[in-house]
Each structure stands twice: as structure tokens, then as C-alpha cells.
Homo-oligomer: A and B are copies of this chain.
């Protein structure tokens, strides 16, 4: 900036004003400064210096519970990010991606830049406390954290709704659940009674509770050994679990899946095993990712409005409205896999 100022024969303050306070100098001078600066290859104030001085950077940090790399492969996270990005771009904010995994010095340093944070998913460790201690506004998504604003859905009710829908059918005798992250294990396995008594903060437990309530309401039981645990929301893992479930005897007539990725995997496995959906097995998902409406048959699921969640979280953060606790409505989406 100094160079530019020297070149144009004005002071640095005037150049700065040209960028930040149009009213502080004549339109003509401003025009000239902006034009000639650009020609000199100066495109505006240096962000580091500016934010050092102003105490704000125009950058919003998005911290993901899972690794950044993995998150890019997860359709649910991608939808959320889409919503967030939309609002941030509209408001000319920059998006810095942070991962909760690294607690390196580099990461900590980086956390000093953003003006605010969106936290997605339950972070392990103390990655959180750090952020909270910065005193900057924080909005969390899909969990609760201290007095931060949050955007959530009613997982229990959403799960109840779709299970209720599925279990009202005639053949509801054999219910199986393909669950996501129900316990702390990296293996695919069925649950045991003790597993259920272990407390857990995972939202999947809420979904399970919803299923259970619906089962009770419909006077059917969900045996604990018909509940599978899948450690990560990937098609590969899900297919393995789905194959176990769909080759177990007696064959489930209702397969409640805790994510669409899992449900879509179940659909593929059913197809491969020549099990008719929804003829022999009714399959339900959760999330309503874009792919859910494109499968054959299209998936019956619970829409959790991820795009909207992202938009809302970003909006709340930017509007300084970051104390509010919002519970978004879920919506039952009845397609073909469970009518």
C-alpha cells in the first residue's frame, strides 16, 4: 500500500480510505486510486494486516467432527456445507475449513483468524473448549454445546415417524435395524443387551429410541441381535452389514436404516439377493440425500433438511443470533421402498 501511495502521490491513509470509506475522499480521487492500484497489481488491503488492526477478518471457520477429507465423501456433510457456503458467499465471508482431529499448533493458530465458527457434529476431545475460549460466536449443528446457538432436528421423533409408518403395515413381524455409530467400535457387529445400557451422546441413539417407541406402539419387538452397528457412514461398510442382515434368518420384513447411505446399500444387496423391495422387505432410510430420490426403487426416508440446516446455522452466526437453539422439523418422505 505504501508503494501505491507513493506512486500516486497520496498518503497511505487516503489509499486505505479509498477501499474502506468512500465518503472520506472525492469520488474522482477514489476512482483514480482504485484504478491505478489495480494496474500496479495491488488489489486491496492485505488480510493479515487488516484483521490484525480491525480485529476481524471476514473469515468464518467451519469445523467438522470427522476428517475434512472424509467429509467431502459424505453426502450429508456436503449438503450441509452447501447451505453454509451459500449464505457465506452471499455475505461475502470467506470459508476456512478446520478439522477437529488435529490439535496441532498450526490448527490452534488458525483458530485465531475466523470471526466465528460453525461446528458440525459431536467433536471428540477438547477441540471445542479451545474454540469456546476464544469468545467468538459459535453455532453448532447436530448437537448441543454449552450456551452456543445450535441447529438440530428432532431425531427421536423423525425416527419414530418413519418407523411408525413402516410398522403399521401388515407384515411387521420381523424388524431389523441397521444402525450408525451406536457403540464405540470400529467393527460391524450386532448389539448385545449391555451395549444398550452404555450411555452415549450419539444422535443415533435418539433415532434408535424413536424406532423403539414406534415398535412398542405397534406391539412388535426389535430383538437386540437384530440391531446392527455400522461404524462409519460408507457404502462399503453398509453393504457388509446389509448382507448380514438380509441373509439372517428369519428374513427381516422391515429394515430400518439410520442413514440413506445405509438404506441404499441395503437396496443394492436386496437386489443382488433377489429379495423384493418393498415386496418382501420394507426399507427405510434417514437423511433424504439427493441420491435417495434417484434409486430404484426410490427410497422412503426422513428429510432432515441439511441444506436448510447449513443456511440457518450460517445465518444465525452472521446475524449475531448465536444463542438461539433451533430444532428443525423433519419430514416423512414416502417413496417406494416402504409405502
Give A contacts to B, CB under 8 Å. Answer: 19, 41, 43-52, 57-59, 67-70, 72-73, 78-79, 81-83, 85-86, 89, 92-99, 101-102, 104-113, 130, 133, 235, 264, 268, 271, 290-291, 294, 296
Contact = CB atoms under 8 A, between A and B. Distances in A.
Given A51-B48, A81-B72, A59 B94 contact: no
A82 B104 contact: no
14 contacts: A43-B111, A43-B112, A48-B48, A48-B51, A52-B52, A58-B106, A58-B110, A69-B83, A72-B78, A85-B97, A89-B99, A89-B101, A92-B107, A95-B96
Copies of this chain, complex-wide, total: 2
Contacts of A94: 96-98, 106-107, 110
A73 to B, nearest CB: 6
Interface centre among A48, A93, A235 (most CB of B within 10 A): A48
Given A67-B85, A72-B79, 19 more contacts: A43-B130, A43-B133, A44-B109, A45-B109, A46-B112, A48-B49, A49-B52, A50-B109, A59-B110, A72-B81, A92-B102, A93-B106, A94-B96, A94-B97, A94-B98, A95-B96, A95-B97, A97-B97, A291-B291
